Amino acid sequence: MSTTDDSFSITSESLSIQKPSLKDRWWHIMDTWKVGIIPLPLFVLAGVLIAVDCLGGKLPSDIVVMVATLAFFGFACGEFGKRLPIIGKLGAAAICATFIPSAMVYYGLLPDVVVESTTKFYKSTNILYLYICCIIVGSIMSMNRTTLIQGFLRIFFPMLCGEIAGMLVGMGVGMLLGLEPFQIFFFIILPIMAGGVGEGAIPLSIGYATILHMDQGVALGRVLPMVMLGGLTAIIISGCLNQLGKRFPHLTGEGQLMPNRANTDEQAPAAPAYSGKADVTTIASGALLAVLLYMLGMLGHKLIGLPAPVGMLFMAVLVKLVHGVSPKILEGSQVVYKFFQTSVTYPILFAVGVAITPWQELVHAFTLTNLLVIVSTVTTLVATGFFVGKKIGMHPIDVAIVSCCQSGQGGTGDVAILTAGNRMSLMPFAQIATRIGGAINVSVSLLVLGNFLV
């Protein structure tokens, strides 16, 4: 009789243990059901609050409301892209986070108050540059010093080879399709490699307006779609390269350009490992370091005209090489980098899609001839970077992803490309490819156009 009672009590206890309480079920939902990084209940609450503001006719553009708004829409678009069959693994999340908002604005599917507030917030705060400076400084501070030097010295050769090969193949394909060589180079290929919109398309349009005696708006209208299509192609290729790296791990360093050789590790101390235990003051110091280095970059821009992100990049490298900050602050910078990479990428891409990505320009440029020239140019550029990088002892997939950034939409394109390729730690090299490479291409090409061809 006692045995039966004991077994019954044990069974009752096991049932009571197995049955979770209402609190446990709620916590389980909060911890496991997420849209991007946002717990589902908070995501729903954010959507309700944004809808209430929109129905009231006014959505504040201050940072408090915009954090919730950009997070809600950005992670929703990114999650949608991730869940798409097949292409979800090829960078569709970054594409959807950028181009779905652009299409929604064009077709009137996004409330006007959201568009107005997002555009105002994006353009008035320059939040993209805060994002880029934290990503650049954090990734540089987490690199091995010797590897950092070798990477910067070697990356220029694959980039140069890729540009030359891409231009030659693009010209050949365009001429086979019956296009004029002048149009192919100056209005298709050069915009792709010009370094984005602000540093590439706009200076090109100003130069074309002056040299070719045409309206700047007309010139920009012809150049901008090529920049966008080149960036879109690069995002897709970067996503494919990420999948290639998962299938052939020996071809990638997962965000490292140079292999970690034993003698390299003996000659120079590695960056401090990320422990996840940095205190609040250390993290704040890491964030302040990134901001101050960007301010130095802005000062350099005023003095010598060097783009602020590039000046900041060089200053960050210098600080790293001379041991300018302690290992503790280095770890703080790394925590800041991981925070922005995880939490801010998709909201930033949504803001970019709403504020500065004209959907109609992209659609108008979707002609077969343009697509063939652009795809052949970008593919050749990236493939050349892959094989040249492999030949000179670098990780070919990571070099190829940096090469993708040579045809991106500036800083925003770098974010989308590196997100699709899951290689955000390559941001410093991407900035070199975009800013410096684009500036050289634009300057040399306008010089040749003005002095020899017109």
Non-local (6+) Cβ contacts of 245 within 8 A are: 251, 252, 254, 397
Residue whose token pair is 């320009």: 361
- Kindly report, residue by residue over 360-392, the tens digit of the pLDDT: 877 877 788 989 999 999 999 999 999 999 999
**Intervals of the chain under pLDDT 50:** 1-2, 8, 15, 262-274
Give the CA count within 13 Å in the CB-facing half-sphere of 122.
21
Give the CA count within 13 Å in the CB-facing half-sphere of 375.
8
pLDDT confidence of residue 263: 42
- Kindly report, residue by residue over 240-297, the tens digit of the pLDDT: 999 999 999 999 988 888 886 544 443 444 444 445 567 899 999 999 999 999 999 8
- Kindly report, residue by residue over 53-85, the tens digit of the pLDDT: 999 888 998 999 999 999 999 999 999 988 888
pLDDT confidence of residue 167: 93
Burial of 103 (0-12, 13-18, 19+ CB in 10 A): middle
Give the CA count within 13 Å in the CB-facing half-sphere of 336.
30
Residue whose token pair is 């999948």: 243
pLDDT confidence of residue 197: 66
pLDDT confidence of residue 5: 53
Taking the whole predicted model, whether its pTM rises above 0.85 is answered as no
CB contact at 8 A, 139 and 424: yes
The helix (run of H) or strand (run of E) holding residue 292 is helix 280-304
Q: Distance from CA of residue 214 to its chain's centroid?
A: 33
| Count of beta carbons in the 10 Å neighbourhood of residue 301 | 16
Non-local (6+) Cβ contacts of 430 within 8 A are: 402, 405, 408, 414, 417, 418
pLDDT confidence of residue 269: 42
